[in-house]
């Protein structure tokens, strides 16, 4: 049964307000040298119970909770935004380091993954799980989520910061993208396992847990080892009508197919979307991959992803949900652990102090993946509402800190890493200007 005209109008109005707020505040954040994701979430905070819902609760309810199906419709758009975000994260995957940086990359990768993950796991022993656990009441899955939140790094935020600074072509940027890509893929495996374990525990039985774990690793093996070869065989096949009918439609079909396969196997669909992005990255030659990335980026970062981040803010009521004292403690612990581990790892590799500090700051930005972690864990009932707010704020604040530090270093004229001294910054693309009359030369 379809929506009435009034319901459809109200749903579109709610989308319109969220989309405008996310894009406008995201743009203003960038102009203020703040990562765009912070502005997009702020758009939802302004329209949500934190601000608008607090001062005009009746209007807020009319706009975003006006009829029974509205919450589900907004939830569908929210999930699509998450799927596109994860697919784009997969497209950023870099399986190889630059020559000469392999030892540095592998050392940072090992240190920033294993030690912070272990520290997060130990940290849960000093907390009261009753205040932090979600309805699923899965202590094991909760520990995995906490461990990931300490270790996670944001590929999209770091990439966007480096792009805005005009240094995306430098040695530092290439090393960071490669490390962050492999690093976060490993941690997403952990999140997929946490999701599977929560579902398995609810049904009880070691066989269910083993089946969920096997399905996760089996899907990874297929997407990384088998699917890229299959795609290379069928991409240019003359019987592949879909790729000729619509190249973008073909890419979206791959995305949906992997998300569906993940869901069918009991693995979270967002992990299927991430693996779809990685498989596409490995399957297409560079000139076609650039076309894939450009096509997907336009539809993702103009509509679905801003709406996703705005709806994250829409779910938060910082005045009532975020325990300030615990958040500050968690922020201090997370940044100290990840920052110290990366800094000391770099110093052991005989990198200078500034380079070590730059890499430590970049690896501390949790951004989009940190928010994805919190929203997925919250939707699965693994964490409580206050802890959800803490993890979102952790992702936002650490992204702001990383962006501010790297921008400061670049503005002082110092290279982010040895070897970049003579590399000139490339000015990023200017914002679009609409002239009333096109100029004719």
pLDDT band at 198 (very low <50, low <70, confident <90, very high): low
Question: How many domains does the chain divide into?
Answer: 1
CA angle 197, 82, 113 (to 5 degrees): 55
In a domain, 427, yes or no: no
Of 196-205, 320-329, 343-352, minimum mean pLDDT range: 196-205
Rounded mean pLDDT, 23-37: 86
Rounded mean pLDDT, 65-77: 89
Which residue from 417, 424, 429 is spatially nearest to 160, judged by alpha carbons?
Answer: 429
Of 134-143, 273-282, 403-412, 415-424, minimum mean pLDDT range: 415-424
- Give the CA dihedral 112, 336, 159, 106, nearest 10 degrees: -20
pLDDT band at 437 (very low <50, low <70, confident <90, very high): low
**pLDDT score, position 165:** 74
Structure tokens of 379? 């939707």
Which residue from 368, 352, 244, 252 is spatially nearest to 306, judged by alpha carbons?
Answer: 368
In a domain, 391, yes or no: yes
pTM above 0.85, yes or no: no
Residues in Cβ contact with 311 at an 8 Å cutoff, skipping those fewer than 6 apart: 18, 44, 74, 77, 78, 81
Rounded mean pLDDT, 376-396: 89
Q: What are phi and psi of 239, to 5 degrees?
A: -85, -5
pLDDT band at 347 (very low <50, low <70, confident <90, very high): very high
CA gap 333, 324 in Å, rounded: 14
Q: Does the pLDDT at position 431 exceed 70?
A: no
CA gap 374, 389 in Å, rounded: 8
Rounded mean pLDDT, 206-234: 82
In a domain, 22, yes or no: no
Rounded mean pLDDT, 64-70: 88
**pLDDT score, position 250:** 92
pLDDT band at 433 (very low <50, low <70, confident <90, very high): low
- Give the CA dihedral 116, 122, 126, 131, nearest 10 degrees: 80
CA gap 419, 410 in Å, rounded: 14
In a domain, 247, yes or no: yes
**pLDDT score, position 404:** 87
Q: Are 167 and 410 in contact (CB under 8 A)?
A: yes
- Give the CA dihedral 427, 430, 435, 438, nearest 10 degrees: 50
Of 117-126, 177-186, 341-350, minimum mean pLDDT range: 177-186
- H-assigned helices in 138-285: 139-151, 155-164, 171-203, 206-221, 227-235, 241-245, 247-264, 269-283
Between residues 369 and 396, which one has the greater pLDDT?
Answer: 396
| Torsional sign, CA 369, 375, 379, 381 | positive
The tens digit of pLDDT for each residue in 255-268 reads: 999 999 988 887 77
**pLDDT score, position 208:** 61
Of 74-83, 155-164, 229-238, 332-341, minimum mean pLDDT range: 155-164
pLDDT band at 11 (very low <50, low <70, confident <90, very high): very high
**pLDDT score, position 12:** 94
**pLDDT score, position 429:** 46
Between residues 330 and 403, which one has the greater pLDDT?
Answer: 330
In a domain, 166, yes or no: yes
CA gap 271, 274 in Å, rounded: 5
Range of the domain at 329: 83-412
| Torsional sign, CA 139, 141, 145, 147 | positive
In a domain, 430, yes or no: no
Residues in Cβ contact with 172 at an 8 Å cutoff, skipping those fewer than 6 apart: 162, 355, 358, 359, 415, 416, 417, 420
**pLDDT score, position 324:** 86
Which residue from 60, 32, 61 is spatially nearest to 47, judged by alpha carbons?
Answer: 60
Q: Does the pLDDT at position 2 exceed 80?
A: no
pLDDT band at 301 (very low <50, low <70, confident <90, very high): confident
Q: Does the pLDDT at position 57 exceed 50?
A: yes
pLDDT band at 423 (very low <50, low <70, confident <90, very high): low
Q: Does the pLDDT at position 181 exceed 50?
A: yes
Between residues 314 and 436, which one has the greater pLDDT?
Answer: 314
In a domain, 60, yes or no: no
Q: Are 10 and 35 in contact (CB under 8 A)?
A: no
Burial of 411 per CB tally in 10 Å (0-12, 13-18, 19+): exposed
Between residues 243 and 211, which one has the greater pLDDT?
Answer: 243
Which residue from 317, 297, 308 is spatially nearest to 19, judged by alpha carbons?
Answer: 308
The CATH number linked to 337 is: 1.20.1530.10
Rounded mean pLDDT, 167-192: 79
CA angle 211, 278, 250 (to 5 degrees): 105
In a domain, 429, yes or no: no
Q: What percent of the chain is predicted at pLDDT more than 90?
A: 30
């Amino acid at each position: 049964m379809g929506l009435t005209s009034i319901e459809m109008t109200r749903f579109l109005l709610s989308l319109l307000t969220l989309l405008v707020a996310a894009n406008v505040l995201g743009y203003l954040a960038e102009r203020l040298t703040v990562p765009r994701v912070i502005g997009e979430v702020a758009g939802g905070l302004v329209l949500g119970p934190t601000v608008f819902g607090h001062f005009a609760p009746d209007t807020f309810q009319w706009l975003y909770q006006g009829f029974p199906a509205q919450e589900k419709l907004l939830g569908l758009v929210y999930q699509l935004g998450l799927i596109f975000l994860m697919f784009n994260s997969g497209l950023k995957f870099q399986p190889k380091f630059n020559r000469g940086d392999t030892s540095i990359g592998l050392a940072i990768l090992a240190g920033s993954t294993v030690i912070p993950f272990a520290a997060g796991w130990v940290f849960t022993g000093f907390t009261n799980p009753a205040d932090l656990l979600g309805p699923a009441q899965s202590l094991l899955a909760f520990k995995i989520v906490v461990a990931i939140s300490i270790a996670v790094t944001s590929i999209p935020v770091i990439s966007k910061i480096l792009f805005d600074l005009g240094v995306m072509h430098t040695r530092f940027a290439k090393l960071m993208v490669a490390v962050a890509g492999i690093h976060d893929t490993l941690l997403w495996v952990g999140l997929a396992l946490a999701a599977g374990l929560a579902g398995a525990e609810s049904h009880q039985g070691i066989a269910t847990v083993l089946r969920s774990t096997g399905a996760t690793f089996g899907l990874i093996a297929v997407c990384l080892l088998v699917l890229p070869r299959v795609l290379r065989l069928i991409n240019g096949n003359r019987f592949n009508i879909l790729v000729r009918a619509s190249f973008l439609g073909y890419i979206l079909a791959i995305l949906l197919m992997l998300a569906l396969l993940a869901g069918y196997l009991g693995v979270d669909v967002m992990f299927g979307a991430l693996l779809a992005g990685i498989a596409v990255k490995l399957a297409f030659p560079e000139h076609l991959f650039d076309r894939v990335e450009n096509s997907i980026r336009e539809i993702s970062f103009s509509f679905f992803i801003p709406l996703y981040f705005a709806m994250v803010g829409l779910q938060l009521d910082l005045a009532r949900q975020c325990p300030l004292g615990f958040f500050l403690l968690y922020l201090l612990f997370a940044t100290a652990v990840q920052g110290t581990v990366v800094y000391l790892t770099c110093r052991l590799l005989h990198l200078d102090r500034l380079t070590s500090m730059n890499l430590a700051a970049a690896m501390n930005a949790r951004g989009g993946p940190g928010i994805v972690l919190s929203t997925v864990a919250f939707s699965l009932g693994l964490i409580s509402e206050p802890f959800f707010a803490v993890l979102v704020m952790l992702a936002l604040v650490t992204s702001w800190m990383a962006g501010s530090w790297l921008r400061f270093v670049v503005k002082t004229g110092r290279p982010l890493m040895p070897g970049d001294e003579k590399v000139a910054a490339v000015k990023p693309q200017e914002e679009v200007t609409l002239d009333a009359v096109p100029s004719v030369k």
